[in-house]
Amino acid sequence: MVVSSAIAGAQPTPVTNTSSTYLLTGTAAYFTGLKVRAKLLTSLPSGVTVTVSAAVGPLNSSSGSVTLTTSYQDILTSQLPSNNAYTLTYTLSATTAASPTLMNVSVQYCVNSSNNC
């Protein structure tokens, strides 16, 4: 994703990507108390943020749009298994103070019943 446009006098226009999905399968008992957590593997330059939001089924709960850092954060809670794949929406934003930078950004996910990811 590349932030490449802005209206004169405004912050650059954020870029969104919805091409990633996730699928949780298994027995309902296995999913009791599970959380899906995510973090960045490297820090972002000053003025740059990446958020992720996970679409959910009717019985699951999402944390909404979460600004990712290098520490794990809850993305999904109250999960149940599903036969459906759901969309992960990533948004890359930059301020006018951000320096032009080319870098790869990796997100690591953890599925766990505690905060010990």
Q: Which of 27, 23, 5, 22 is nearest to 14 (CA)?
A: 5
Residue 51 located in a structural domain: yes
Average of per-residue pLDDT across 33-62: 88
Average of per-residue pLDDT across 82-102: 87
Query: Is the pLDDT score of 51 beyond 70?
Result: yes
Residue 8 located in a structural domain: no
Torsion sign (Cα): 58, 86, 16, 74: positive
Q: What is the pLDDT of residues 9-26, one digit of tens each?
A: 788 889 999 999 988 777
Helix, strand, coil shares of the chain, percent, nearest 5, are 5, 40, 55
Alpha-carbon distance of 30 to 16, in angstroms, equals: 33
Other Cβ atoms closer than 10 A to 63:
18
Token duo for residue 4: 């490449």
Residue 70 located in a structural domain: yes
Query: Is the pLDDT score of 39 beyond 80?
Result: yes
Domain boundaries, position 61: 15-96+105-111
Number of domains in the chain: 1
Residue 88 located in a structural domain: yes
H-only helix segments in 1-115:
28-31
- What is the rounded average pLDDT for all residues in the chain? 85
Residue 74 located in a structural domain: yes
Residue 6 located in a structural domain: no
Residue 33 located in a structural domain: yes
Token duo for residue 88: 């992960």
pTM: 0.85
Residue 116 located in a structural domain: no
